[in-house]
Amino acid sequence: MSVTISAGTAYGFFTDTSICIGCKACEVACKEWNQLPGNPPHFLGDSFDNTGQLDDMNWRHVQFRETTSAQGGPAWLMMSDVCKHCNQASCMDVCPTGAIIRTEFDTVFIQQDVCNGCRNCISACPFGVIGFSGDTGTVHKCTLCYDRLQAGMQPACAQACPTQSIQFGPLVELHARADMRLVALQSQGHDPILYGRDDNVYGGLGAFFLLMDKPESYGLPSTASAVRPERNNAPGYLGALLGSVLAVLGGLIAFRRRNETEAQ
């Protein structure tokens, strides 16, 4: 689907899990475009999933979750997970260097040349999408293909998705499209959830989802608990920052006194 991309418009992803087939084309496209290394081969033991989680090497992760159908038999839930590009982004709140910014497309982006590798954002992210790279000494996550957006191209994962489970576009249009899909599924007797469509999940998500089961079944915080942890709020972070500054000052004072003692 062709999308005209222009600065000043909020863009994002609408992921319809009801039509995800678990092909992992999105993972492959993401890795190829962003030149991300692959994981060493290993067997997770409890799933067909060979990625495991979102981290510094995996910015897209197709989940395979076994569950029980309404008829009582086994069933699979599949979802291509990604950074949510939250409207209220805790990672931005706690970043001490200003490395994490909101772009002209209203997406959340980590500037690699400004990141100091402190990993505050990893602790702050309620979705566990950010990973630290020992090779670069910085943190990484989905950029929503910022470089492609700047060139007028849609993100690689959405372009590669064969079922349009991952849809990219202006958030206003995606919201309307998601609302229509919700009504269509409800008319078929399903009871889906639009997760992050509204502001009840971290102020609304730039990458939101249509789920066929409760959020917890996909490893997502429930909508009832989806508020930023107190430790991630700006006042809490500033308090921690003040404590760190005082600790450094204390260390400098102790160092000076030791030098003065040695000089005597």
How far apart are the C-alpha atoms of 193 and 162, rounded to whole Å? 23
Pair 37, 140 in one domain: yes
* Stretch among 36-45, 108-117, 180-189 having the lowest mean pLDDT: 36-45
Pair 249, 174 in one domain: no
How far apart are the C-alpha atoms of 14 and 145, rounded to whole Å? 15
Pair 159, 195 in one domain: yes
Q: How confident is the model at residue 120 (pLDDT cuts 50, 70, 90)?
A: very high
pLDDT exceeding 90 applies to what percent of the chain? 70
Q: Tell me the per-residue pLDDT of 10-55, one tens digit each, with 9 for 90 and over.
A: 999 999 999 999 999 999 999 999 999 877 766 666 566 777 889 9
Instruction: Give domain status of residue 224, yes or no.
Output: yes
Q: Quote the domain boundaries for residue 249.
A: 233-264
Chain mean pLDDT for the chain: 87
Terminal-residue alpha carbon distance, the chain: 77
Instruction: Give domain status of residue 27, yes or no.
Output: yes
Instruction: Give domain status of residue 85, yes or no.
Output: yes
How far apart are the C-alpha atoms of 72 and 67, rounded to whole Å? 9
pLDDT at 189 over 60: yes
Q: Tell me the per-residue pLDDT of 231-259, one tens digit each, with 9 for 90 and over.
A: 444 444 454 455 445 544 655 665 565 56
Q: Number of folded domains in the chain?
A: 2
Return the CATH number at 210: 3.30.70.20
Instruction: Give domain status of residue 79, yes or no.
Output: yes
Residue-level pLDDT at 264: 58
